[in-house]
């Protein structure tokens, strides 16, 4: 299993903090950026034998410095530069997944996590669920804020957690189960990612890819209850800093 951490966005909503500094390396507690929390969880997954961090030209040196501080990490870390320099020429999250697959010649199961995800669910439980269902999995959590759901992937699942409906950013959310940016794909999905992009589909939000795949093979939702924060705004950054620094 390979882990891809998506860190190539330009985080315009967090300007000026992120004008020349990557969002995933913003500190939450003193000396501890978002990436370190993610890394701690990925390190609990013995199936993962390589971590690929996909970033852009603007932030590349920052991530190289971070990786050089992690040389003793039990899982090797590779930093991949997608060669983009601005929000206008970005590849999008799904484009970056494909870029990483091509650059590193990946042909394994893929654990994909957005680099701005701060979560308290246990990845070990998530991966164990994946082994049980033997199909693509997305992390899901109940969200009873109807308006907020319109900006999520909204998921419906059967009793066995097989996905029965999946809609990205629906105008009328069909359930209260929101999908979050942690995905597990069997390696059989890898050719479908290129197929998705070559068909001219949206290269941005990674849930669009999951929506495409769920329509083509049995897929599942791992439902968790713990806190999950998408650190994308000044308000959410302040919230998690207050929570974790306490």
Residue 15 confidence (pLDDT) above 90:
yes
Q: Which one-letter DSSP state was computed for residue 162?
A: B
Q: pLDDT digit string (tens) for 21-67?
A: 999 999 999 999 999 999 999 999 999 999 999 999 999 999 999 99
* CATH code for the part of the protein at 2-138+181-245: 3.90.550.10
Average pLDDT of span 78-103? 96
Rounded Cα–Cα distance for residues 54 and 120 (Å): 23
Query: What are the sequence ranges of the domains in the chain?
Result: 2-138+181-245
Average pLDDT of span 108-126? 97
Average per-residue pLDDT for the chain: 96
Please tell me the predicted confidence (pLDDT) of residue 8: 97
Please tell me the predicted confidence (pLDDT) of residue 82: 97
pLDDT band of residue 246 (cuts 50, 70, 90) is confident
pLDDT band of residue 146 (cuts 50, 70, 90) is very high
Q: Encoding tokens for residue 150?
A: 């319109």
Please tell me the predicted confidence (pLDDT) of residue 153: 94
| Owner of token pair 């891809």 | 4
| Owner of token pair 């059967």 | 158
Please tell me the predicted confidence (pLDDT) of residue 75: 98
Task: Give ∠ CA 131-204-130 in degrees, rounded to 5.
Answer: 5
Q: pLDDT digit string (tens) for 170-221?
A: 999 999 999 999 999 999 999 999 999 999 999 999 999 999 999 999 999 9
Average pLDDT of span 156-174? 95
């Amino acid at each position: 299993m390979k882990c891809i951490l998506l860190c190539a966005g330009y985080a315009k909503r967090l300007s000026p903090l992120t004008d020349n500094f990557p969002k995933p390396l913003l500190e939450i507690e003193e000396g501890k950026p978002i990436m370190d929390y993610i890394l701690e969880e990925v390190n609990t997954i013995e199936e993962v034998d390589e971590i690929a961090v996909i970033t852009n030209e603007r932030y590349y040196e920052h991530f190289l410095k971070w990786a050089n501080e992690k040389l003793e990490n039990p899982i090797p870390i590779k930093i991949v530069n997608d060669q983009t320099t601005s929000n206008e020429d970005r590849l999008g999250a799904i484009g970056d997944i494909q870029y990483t697959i091509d650059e590193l010649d990946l042909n394994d199961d893929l654990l994909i996590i957005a680099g701005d995800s701060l979560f308290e669910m246990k990845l070990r439980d998530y991966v164990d669920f994946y082994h049980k269902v033997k199909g693509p999995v997305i992390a899901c959590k109940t969200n009873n804020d109807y308006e907020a759901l319109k900006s999520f992937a909204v998921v419906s699942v059967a009793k066995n957690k097989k996905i029965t409906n999946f809609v990205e950013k629906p105008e009328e959310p069909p359930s209260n189960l929101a999908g979050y940016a942690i995905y597990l794909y069997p390696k059989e999905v890898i050719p479908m990612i290129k197929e998705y992009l070559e068909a001219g589909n949206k290269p941005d939000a990674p849930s669009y890819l999951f929506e495409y795949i769920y329509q083509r093979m049995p897929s599942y939702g791992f439902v968790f209850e713990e806190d999950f924060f998408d650190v994308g705004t000044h308000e959410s950054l302040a919230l998690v800093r207050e929570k974790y620094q306490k």
